[in-house]
Each structure stands twice: as structure tokens, then as C-alpha cells.
Amino acid sequence: MSAATTMAPPAAAQNPDSRIGLRAHCRHIGALARRNLLQIKADPESMFDAVAMPIIFTLMFVYVFGGAVAGKGNQEVYVNYLVPGLMAMTGIQIAMAVGSGVHEDFKKGVMDRFRTMPIARSSVLVAKIIVEVGRMLVATAIQLGMGFALGLSIGTSWLHLLGAVALSLVFGASLMWIFILVGLTMKTAQAVQGVAMLVLMPLQFASSIFAPTSTMPGWLKAFADYNPLANLADASRALINGGAVAHSVWMTLGWAVAITVVTAPLAVAKFRKKT
């Protein structure tokens, strides 16, 4: 038997997740989520983006774009178009911050400490996502509150509104895996933010978040029609205002599943190997 064979660790040692049961995994996630919540409690400023940005974005876009899109003096009409779309934008803003947070945790040695503990590696990242989804829920609630203050009305039902919120949270959680992978891959926080902005800008503005896509050039409209943020904005708009729902909802869920299936295993594998 060669020395390389005798020195190779068993598969279970290389992959701690494979020897940790579901109950233990859930317990680890709960403990790590509590740790992340206590971290937010100790640093309330970390909630600034979730609390202030929805207010700033809603006011800014309603009064900057509202007159141009809906006509002067018709900002209330634009509120019903914009706010459901901004729910998609809020998700990507929160998700983008996750990548920077994971990167900073590695720089501080926090993640190295977690990797020396007998816990499932994936539980560290899942706990992070659970807490960030909670922050996203806070941001969405504030954004809807601002929308109602500016004249947002529900054309369907409160159940449909909750469905739009749930859809935004599911899709936002899937985006977090992308930005966690970016945070684990890039060497500096500036690089993480730079890559995040390169992803963010085209997806946000080449979509139906701020204005209908009917006035776009054909090639750009074709991109917007398959843009996951546009599908989420259209789905949320239909759920809140009324209209055809099925296509955009299924497209959004399909994107969420595809993103998670592709990027979650890559992020967990990168987390195990990162030095």
C-alpha cells in the first residue's frame, strides 16, 4: 500500500456533512442563526440598508420617474407599478450584502473557526441565508409601508400580497448563493462589490422594474423578457394589482430553483476548500 493511500483521509472526514444527521444539522443551523442575530443586535447599524434604503428608493424613484412614466401629477398611478417591482430590487440589494459579509468573516478568521468545529459546513451558509431572508422581510415590509403611504392599493387580496412577498423572499434567497460564491471567490471586498455591481446594474435596469419594456429596442426587450428580475417584478405586480400570474410566477420559481441547484453546491464546496 502506498504512502499516499495510507495518508489519505476517509471520505467522511473530507466531507463532514455526510456524517451529520438531519436533526444535528438543523440544530447547528439554529445555533448559527442565533449567533448572526446576536451580531446584528450588537451592531444595529448593520440594519441600515434594510431599513433606510427601501424608504430612499421608493421616494426617489416615485418622484424622479413617476411623472415621466405615468404623466405629471400621476405619481400615485406609478406607485402601483413601481412598488411591486422594487420588491425584486430590494432582494438583490440584500443578497449583494451577503457576499461582502461572508468575505469579511473569512478575513476576520470567523469562518476558519467554524471549519474547525464538528458541524456541517453547509449549515454555516444556510444560517447566514436564513438571517438575511429575515432582513429582507423587514426591508420589504418597510417598502410596502412606504408604498401604502404614497397611495399603493391592492387590486387583488391580502393573500395575493403575501404570495408576492413570499415569492420575493424565495428568489432573493436563491440570489444569495450567487453572492456567497462571489464573496468566497474574490480576494478583496472591493472586488466582491465590483462584481456584484456588474451583475446588479444590467439586471435591474434592463427589466420591467422601473418602466414597461414595450419601449425598449427589440434586442433589449428580448433580454428583459427572460431577465429573472423582470419576471419577478411582473409576477409581484400581477399578484398585487391583478392580471395574468401563472407564466411570470413559474418563470421566477424556475429561475430560483436553477440558481440554487447550480450555485449552492459550488458555494459549499468553495467554503470547504477556501484558505
pLDDT higher than threshold 90 for residue 78? no
Domain ranges of the chain: 18-273
Return d(Cα 228, Cα 206) in angstroms, integer: 11
Torsion of CA 265, 130, 198, 209, to 10 degrees: 120
Helices within the chain (DSSP H only): 3-7, 11-14, 22-42, 48-70, 75-107, 110-115, 121-149, 158-185, 189-205, 218-226, 228-241, 246-273
pLDDT at 108: 75
| 194/73: higher pLDDT | 194
Return d(Cα 44, Cα 51) in angstroms, integer: 11
pLDDT higher than threshold 60 for residue 13? no
Q: What 8-state DSSP symbol labels residue 151?
A: T
Return d(Cα 268, Cα 15) in angstroms, integer: 11
pLDDT in tens, 111-161: 767 777 777 778 888 888 999 999 999 999 999 999 999 989 999 999 999
Q: Are 135 and 43 in contact (CB under 8 A)?
A: no
Return d(Cα 90, Cα 66) in angstroms, integer: 19
Q: Is 45 helix (H, G, I), strand (E, B) or coil?
A: helix
- Range with the poorest average pLDDT among 20-29, 252-261, 265-274: 20-29
pLDDT in tens, 174-208: 999 999 998 888 888 788 888 888 888 888 888 88
- List all residues 6 or more positions away from 52 whose beta carbon is below 8 Å from its beta carbon: none
pLDDT higher than threshold 70 for residue 70? no
- Is the torsion defined by CA of 216, 218, 223, 228 positive or negative? positive
Return d(Cα 25, Cα 268) in angstroms, integer: 14
Task: Tell how far CA 35 is from the center of its chain.
Answer: 20
CA contacts within 13 A on the Cβ side of 164:
30
Nearest to 101 by CA among 194, 189, 198: 189
Q: Is 258 helix (H, G, I), strand (E, B) or coil?
A: helix
Return d(Cα 63, Cα 73) in angstroms, integer: 10
Q: Whole-model pTM? A: 0.84
Residue in the block written with cell 411582473: 234
Widest distance between CA atoms in the chain = 82
pLDDT at 17: 56
pLDDT in tens, 18-60: 566 777 778 888 888 888 888 888 887 778 878 888 898 888 8
Q: Are 235 and 164 in contact (CB under 8 A)?
A: yes
Mean pLDDT of 257-269: 93
